[in-house]
Amino acid sequence: MHPKLKTVLYGLSVFAIYTALAIVLRIVSHHVPEENEYFGVISNKDLLLGLMLAFVLTFTHERRKNLK
């Protein structure tokens, strides 16, 4: 598999795991955001935080791979 594709898949999987955890925590805590929501559960802030987290974790993962 192409290395860039692996990197993109890693970032997407980090984002998907974060989003799934955020949704589960919202459902369990019965706390629904009052701002702009997607699917009635996740807000714009959550999506932005998830994208930033995925970018940072993917970047550090790639740096670690290159150091080895």
pLDDT in tens, the chain (68 residues): 888 899 899 999 999 999 999 888 888 887 766 666 777 777 888 889 999 999 999 999 888 888 86
Of 52, 47, 61, 48, nearest to 19 (Cα)? Answer: 47
How high is the pLDDT of residue 42?
Answer: 79
pTM equals 0.80
How high is the pLDDT of residue 22?
Answer: 87
What torsion do the CA atoms of 55, 26, 16, 42 make, to the nearest 10 degrees?
A: -70
Locate all alpha helices (DSSP H) within 1-68, ordered by sequence: 3-29, 44-67
How high is the pLDDT of residue 33?
Answer: 64
